[in-house]
Amino acid sequence: MYVDGIIITEDDAQGIADFKCHLQKHFSTKDLESLRYLLGIEVVRFRRRITLSQRKYVFDMLFKAGMLGCRPLMHPWKPTSSF
């Protein structure tokens, strides 16, 4: 079986280390240390909080669509009273 990624979170640093050691005894693993990206979502850690951002994902989508040079608008169209 192949698992692409697993996230381990816990307040107890020793508990995390023990769990990683247990996994390494039974499976071939690679520890990437701190989580930075997951499924196109950027993970940024601050002192007591975590921020999730899809900035890179949106940038990649705009690049693929050839829309990097486009400027953002407040509204996608100019509202009118008639359609």
Res 37: pLDDT: 83
- The pLDDT value recorded for residue 64 is 94
Residues in the chain with pLDDT < 70?
A: 1-3, 76, 78-83
Rg (CA), the chain: 21
Listed in sequence order, the residues at least 6 apart from 35 whose beta carbon sits closer than 8 Å to its beta carbon are 7, 43
What is the per-residue pLDDT for 82? 59
CB 46 within 8 A of CB 53: no
Q: What is the pLDDT, as a whole number, of residue 83?
A: 52
Domain residues of the chain, as ranges? 13-64
Buried/exposed 56-81: b ≥16 CB within 10 Å, e otherwise: eeeeeeeeeeeeeeeeeeeeeeeeee
For the chain, the straight-line distance linking the first and the last C-alpha, in angstroms and rounded, comes to: 55
